[in-house]
């Protein structure tokens, strides 16, 4: 006899208390394998796929796409044990929704892990659709959220893991069942989707017979709550955007930073010509390439060893400044989902080569939408290279609960007095925003001046790079 087990939204780690349902990966009536991802959710830290520890038939889903659920709220129920037909049949009242601890059978993995569930091959199992749909009478008497209209299943399963790949295809109206994956076991990669879109776009550009111009459509009256004026529908780009998910977390954190931290900013222009020349010489010597960001990070962590006040946090409850033993360096990375700040752990113990590799790895993971909550937390100091946006300066907001952030503008040729003569040099503006509770302007200015001196004369740090 089948048992109906309730799977709840697990603890996603790092103090997260809720998540938004982005996309259901199974429908009511689907057969799921143990540890198969069943729903894609977005937290304040990242987008994750949640695996279900039970194997059986999905009998109910709770929450529409776009709904926020707290940790511990029911996600779905699964009928386990017996044949698929028995699993779909109504269970006696005494056997409905037992606790997870009662499910000691082959249909339960026990792998309800914090954050991402089971790793390894089990997490990549894809959903299998029943050949015979479950009738409405076969669904047990648990609260059921109406499922979407079923879509005819393709000959084989769609092998997609990355939420970013699915979003790209969804936004561009591409049916992933028409895409051949080039990854392991037919996994569909971003390059496969982009290639399919390029083929489709080229086909769409083929000459076609001119169509008759459509008749002007009457102006509709905007629905209540969506007005942009006197009975005129909202123009494109207007309207209300919910502050939730990553954007909501960013808004909360920045607001808290502005509310709690009495910040101040100082800045200085520096001649980066010698730094750029040193980097070119290091890369010309062979071996892994070293990025400008890695050199700036190496300078930054060395400066923090001289000015440890800036690698600290404030314990407001105890009214204490907590100086931190290691530098975990956050850096701003722009992605399709917005700006995120991955953290390089133990940056003060890394070489420029190691920093370059870690920056590249975390940036790639960020753009793929696969950062874990651990990748985005634990920073003690942030390096913000806003020069990539083509701007010279900024007054960044401190990444709470840190005490400071170093901003780096674009490096551009400018007139500069060098060795008593006017010359064209590679100039960069550096800015430091700091928590005035942890230090005064003298300390902040000393830190920034030391960073600028190292940028202008990188030979100071050759032994540590």
Short-list 253, 357, 248, 242, CA closest to 297: 357
Q: List beta partners, residue 338.
A: 335
pLDDT > 70 in the chain, percent: 71
Choose from 103-112, 226-235, 447-456 the range with maximum mean pLDDT: 447-456
Q: Give the pLDDT confidence score for residue 104 in this predicted structure.
A: 40
Tell me, yes or no, whether 164 and 141 share the same domain.
no
What residues pair up with 108 in beta bridges, in sequence order? 54
**Do both 145 and 161 map to the same domain?**
no
Q: What integer pLDDT is reported at residue 359 of this predicted model?
A: 95
Task: Give the pLDDT score at 206.
Answer: 61
The stretch 398-427 carries a mean pLDDT of 95
Q: Which two tokens stand for residue 26?
A: 């199974």
- 30 and 167 fall within a common domain: no
Co-location of 187 and 62 in the same domain: no
Range with the lowest mean pLDDT among 5-14, 121-130, 193-202, 379-388? 121-130
- Tell me: cis bond preceding 401? Omega within 30 of 0 counts: yes
Q: Which of 156-160, 322-326, 372-376, 388-392 has the highest mean pLDDT?
A: 322-326
pLDDT at 207: 55
Q: Name the range with the highest mean pLDDT among 8-17, 193-202, 321-330.
A: 321-330
Q: Report how far Cα 432 is from the mean position of its chain's Cα atoms.
A: 26
Is there a domain that residue 220 lies in?
no
Q: Which pLDDT belongs to residue 45?
A: 60
Q: Is residue 168 located within the same domain as residue 142?
A: no
> 175 — phi, psi (to 5°)?
-80, 115
Does one domain contain both 49 and 182?
no
Same domain, 149 and 280: no
Q: Are residues 440 and 381 in the same domain?
A: yes
Say if residue 229's pLDDT is above 60: no
- φ, ψ for residue 315 (rounded to 5)? -90, 100
Look at residue 462 in the predicted model and tell me its pLDDT: 62
Last residue of a domain, one of 95, 120, 153: 153
Check whether 374 has a pLDDT greater than 80.
Answer: yes
What is the tens place of the pLDDT at every residue in 2-56?
Answer: 788 999 988 776 556 778 888 899 999 999 998 899 998 877 666 778 889 888 9
| CA neighbor of 408 nearest in space, from 426, 430, 425 | 430
- Give me the numbers of helices (H) and strands (E) for the chain, helices first please: 8, 19
CA distance 380 to 321: 13
Return the active site residues.
Answer: 436
pLDDT at 67: 86
DSSP string across 323-361: E-SS--EEE-EEETTEEE--EETTGGG--HHHHHHHHHH
Q: At 36, phi and psi to the nearest 5? A: -80, 135
The pair of structure tokens assigned to 7 is 């799977």
Instruction: State percent of the chain over pLDDT 90.
Output: 42
Last residue of one domain, picked from the residues 153, 186, 215: 153
Q: What is the mean pLDDT of residues 337-364?
A: 92
Find the mean pLDDT for residues 95-102: 43
Domain annotation covers residue 182: yes
Can you give the pLDDT at residue 57?
Answer: 92
Of 216, 383, 403, the closest CA to residue 322 belongs to 403
Domain assignment of residue 442, yes or no: yes
pLDDT at res. 115: 37
Which of the pair, 72 or 324, is modelled with greater confidence?
324
Tokens of 390: 């083509």
pLDDT above 50 (res 295): yes
130-165 tens-digit pLDDT: 344 443 333 333 344 444 443 343 444 456 556 567
Residues 40, 169 within the same domain: no
pLDDT at 328: 97
Q: Which of 153, 176, 209 is the last residue of a domain?
A: 153
- What Rg do the C-alpha atoms of the chain give, in angstroms? 27
Is 324 a member of any domain?
Answer: yes
The answer to whether residue 138 is domain-embedded is yes
Instruction: Please check whether residue 325 lies inside any domain of the structure.
Output: yes
* CATH number of the domain that residue 140 is part of: 2.40.50.100
Kindly report which listed range (162-176, 331-345, 386-400, 434-448) carries the lowest average pLDDT score: 162-176
Which domain, by its residues, includes 176? 156-197
Check whether residue 115 and residue 34 sit in a common domain: yes
The total of structural domains in the chain comes to: 3
Is 127 among the domain residues? Answer: yes
Tokens of 208: 């076609």
Look at residue 246 and tell me if it is in a domain.
no
Confidence (pLDDT) at 146: 43
Residues 6 or more apart from 357 whose CB is under 8 A from it? Answer: 288
Q: Are residues 130 and 273 in the same domain?
A: no
Residue 219 has pLDDT above 50, yes or no: no
Instruction: Please indicate, yes or no, whether residues 90 and 179 belong to a single structural domain of this protein.
Output: no
Is residue 84 very low, low, confident or very high in pLDDT (cuts 50, 70, 90)? low
pLDDT, residue 369, reads 80
Supply the pTM of this predicted model.
Answer: 0.57
Mean pLDDT of the chain: 77
CATH number of the CATH domain containing 275: 3.30.559.10
Residue 323, classified by CB atoms within 10 Å of its CB into exposed (0-12), middle (13-18) or buried (19+), is middle
Maximum average pLDDT range among 52-56, 206-210, 250-254 = 52-56
């Amino acid at each position: 006899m089948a048992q109906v087990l309730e799977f709840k939204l697990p603890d996603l780690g790092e103090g997260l208390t809720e998540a938004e349902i982005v996309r259901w990966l199974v429908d009511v009536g689907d057969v799921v394998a143990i540890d198969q991802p069943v729903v894609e959710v977005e937290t304040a830290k990242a987008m994750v796929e949640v695996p279900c520890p039970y194997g059986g038939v999905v009998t109910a889903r709770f929450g529409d796409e776009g709904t926020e659920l707290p940790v511990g709220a029911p996600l779905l129920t699964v009928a386990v044990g017996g044949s698929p037909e028995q699993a779909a049949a109504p269970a006696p009242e005494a056997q409905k929704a037992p606790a997870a601890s009662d499910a000691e059978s082959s249909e339960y993995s026990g792998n309800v892990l914090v954050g991402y569930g089971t790793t390894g091959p089990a997490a990549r199992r894809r959903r299998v659709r029943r050949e015979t749909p479950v009738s409405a009478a076969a669904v047990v008497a648990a609260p059921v959220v109406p499922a979407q209209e079923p879509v005819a299943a393709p000959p084989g399963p769609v092998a997609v893991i990355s939420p970013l790949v699915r979003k790209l295809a969804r936004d561009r109206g591409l049916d992933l069942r028409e895409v051949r994956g080039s990854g392991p076991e037919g996994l569909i990669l971003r390059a496969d989707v982009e290639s399919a879109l390029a083929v489709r776009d080229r086909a769409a550009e083929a000459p076609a017979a001119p169509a008759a111009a459509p008749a002007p459509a009457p102006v509709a009256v905007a629905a209540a709550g969506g007005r942009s004026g006197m009975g005129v529908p909202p123009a494109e780009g207007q309207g209300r955007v919910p502050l939730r998910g990553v954007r909501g977390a960013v808004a909360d954190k920045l607001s808290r930073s502005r509310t709690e931290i009495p910040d101040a900013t100082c800045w200085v222009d520096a001649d980066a010509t010698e730094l750029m020349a040193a980097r070119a010489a290091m890369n010309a010597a062979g071996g892994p390439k070293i990025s400008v960001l890695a050199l700036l990070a190496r300078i930054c962590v060395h400066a923090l060893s001289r000015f440890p006040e800036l690698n600290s946090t404030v314990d407001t409850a105890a009214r204490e400044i907590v100086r931190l033993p290691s530098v975990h360096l956050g850096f701003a990375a722009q992605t399709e989902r917005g700006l995120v700040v991955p953290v390089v752990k133990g940056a003060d113990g890394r070489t420029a080569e190691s920093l370059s590799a870690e920056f590249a790895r975390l940036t790639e993971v960020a753009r793929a939408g696969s950062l874990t909550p651990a990748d985005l937390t634990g920073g003690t100091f942030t390096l913000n290279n806003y020069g990539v946006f083509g701007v010279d300066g900024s007054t960044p907001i401190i990444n709470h609960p840190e005490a400071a952030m170093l901003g780096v503008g674009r490096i551009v040729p400018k007139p500069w007095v060098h060795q008593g003569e006017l010359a064209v040099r590679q100039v960069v503006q550096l800015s430091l925003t700091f928590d005035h509770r942890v230090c005064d302007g003298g300390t902040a200015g000393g830190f920034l001046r030391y960073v600028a001196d190292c940028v202008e004369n990188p030979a100071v740090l050759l032994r540590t790079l």
